[in-house]
Amino acid sequence: MAVESNGSAEKHSVVYDVPEIKFTKLFINGSFVDAVSGKTFETIDPRTGEVIAKVAEGDKEDIDLAVKAARNAFDHGKWSRMSGFERGQIMMKFADLVDKHTDELAVLDAIDAGKLLSSGKMLDIPDSANVLRYYAGAADKIHGKTLKMSRELFGYTLLEPVGVVGHIIPWNFPSGMFFSKVSPALAAGCTMIVKPAEQTPLSALYYAHLAKLAGIPDGVLNVVNGFGQKAGAAISSHMDIDKISFTGSTEVGRIVMKAAAESNLKVVSLELGGKSPVIIFDDADVDTAVDLALLGILYNKAITVSRTLNGEVCVAGSRVYVQEGIYDEFVKKISVKANNWVVGDPFDPRVQQGPQVDKNQFEKVLSYIEYGKRDGATLLTGGKAIGEKGYYIQPTIFTDVTENMSIVKDEIFGPVLALMKFKTIEEAIEKANNTKYGLAAGIVTKDLNVANRVSRSIRAGTIWINCYLEFDRDVPFGGYKMSGFGKDDGLDSLHKYLNVKSVVTPLYNSPWL
């Protein structure tokens, strides 16, 4: 793939030896196995549209086998019964193995998901290992409470692992999402089945291999590749799974929740879609605001000095509201930067933005660009596909946008930004909240009073002030409204995988209660 920018194209040849794909089968009960049906499906390189490998296609029968293994490991195995310290030691070893294989894992996410190789090596894979370490450190700090009873009784609570967990993870952060789900569940003592997105199964299978090497017992961590309509549906409706943790679209989240309710009323946590606003006030430094706005919409497949950045992220700052006093200057500066943004092969270190994950997502993003034009928005930059091979799209910015347009209302999951003007704080708050979603928001201002007022007025799970996309393993992440419920990251995530049990016994002849 040649390296291109919106304004001009500089052609380069990128040569990188893609390693042998070692793991393509299902991982069930500690072994790599073929699907019961013998079926496979192709995983595609979004850089070229070509086939990387054929991987086993799991179905209901395979989910049944994985659940049986996980249930046996939970009910009769040692993982949930060993001390938290012992679990933590094994998880630390798992993290060390991830670090040891960083280069190969970063390549897998680059060829499978279009992630920038440089950001995978510097951020995605090391951060994933550190998430494991964070929860490994928490594994021996899971405590109940001693209760002050009102009568002659002694009471306390126990925190116990919820049981068998089904993790259904998306394709935009194959490694990060794997460990944000798996790590707290392992620390809690749960066993699990992971269904990676059908677009990006390769790194999840590699992590299953490393888990085995680290000493995680057979049956504790199972990975079943497959499609949502079959493997995902089988997890959601399975009578012997105790909890579902799902990250994906709001539409699919509804289906997962319904299946969970209609089966065994299993516990569900959902991290769903977003249409996050970034509000930029007159007192903001315009250059800083432009950088944050581009970071907010291009995050995931592009890179800045300190962050990996294409729009395939649920918290993409796809609605940018700029106060009228600096609006014109902001438009000029963001146009220049977007037109010089470098799009191309994620293996090339000069590239700032890689491809969309697959043909379907590529075509979806392009269709929304056409909707924006049709609805009367003005195309400021971008708006076109790049090259004849692969799924590359120019960073696209629309102005003259109104709140009823589909590019403002719908989650696009691509490099498309709607730029709008506002006058007052009240107007900005009203527009920011004018969405069915509530995942995140950004505020750019030098006025602490404004920052406090707006952050408390926006109905969203995460607010970034004078920064954007500053995730951390200690910061709980999750949404309001139709962006879902339940938190990933932080100790809140650990508690998703624990049940509270109350224990009460009488006190006889005690001198005090």
How buried is residue 1: exposed, middle or buried, by Cβ count under 10 Å (0-12/13-18/19+)?
buried
Give Cα separations from 95 to 183, 407, 502 (angstroms). Answer: 10, 40, 34
Name, in order, each residue with C-beta under 8 angstroms of 85's C-beta and a sequence gap of 6 or more.
139, 140
Q: H/E element holding 173?
A: none
Longest dimension (CA), the chain: 86
Which position has the token pair 């899971």? 142
d(CA 434, CA 429): 9
How buried is residue 263: exposed, middle or buried, by Cβ count under 10 Å (0-12/13-18/19+)?
middle
Active site residue 271: yes
**C-alpha count within 13 angstroms, C-beta hemisphere, residue 158:** 7
Residue 385's beta-bridge partner residues?
A: 393
Radius of gyration over every alpha carbon of the chain, rounded to an integer in angstroms: 24
First to last CA, the chain: 74
Structure tokens of 27? 């991982």
Please name the residue ranges forming H helices in 101-201.
102-113, 117-119, 125-138, 174-188
Q: Are strands 31-33 and 26-28 parallel, antiparallel or unpaired?
A: antiparallel
Please name the residue ranges forming H helices in 375-508.
406-409, 425-432, 448-457, 490-496
Residue 151 contacts residue 100 (beta carbons within 8 Å) = no
d(CA 485, CA 482): 8
Give Cα separations from 227 to 40, 220, 231, 365 (angstroms). Answer: 11, 22, 6, 22
DSSP of 294-309:
HHHHHTTSBB-SS-B-
Structure tokens of 181? 């789900």
Contacts 24+ apart (CB under 8 A), 234-237: 234/59, 234/60, 234/63, 234/64, 235/63, 235/166, 235/168, 235/193, 235/195, 236/166, 236/168, 236/260, 236/263, 237/262, 237/263
| Number of alpha helices (DSSP H) and beta strands (DSSP E) in the chain | 16, 27
Three-state secondary-structure class, residue 323: strand
d(CA 312, CA 301): 8
Residue from 4, 198, 271, 312 carrying the catalytic annotation:
271
Active site (catalytic) residues: 271
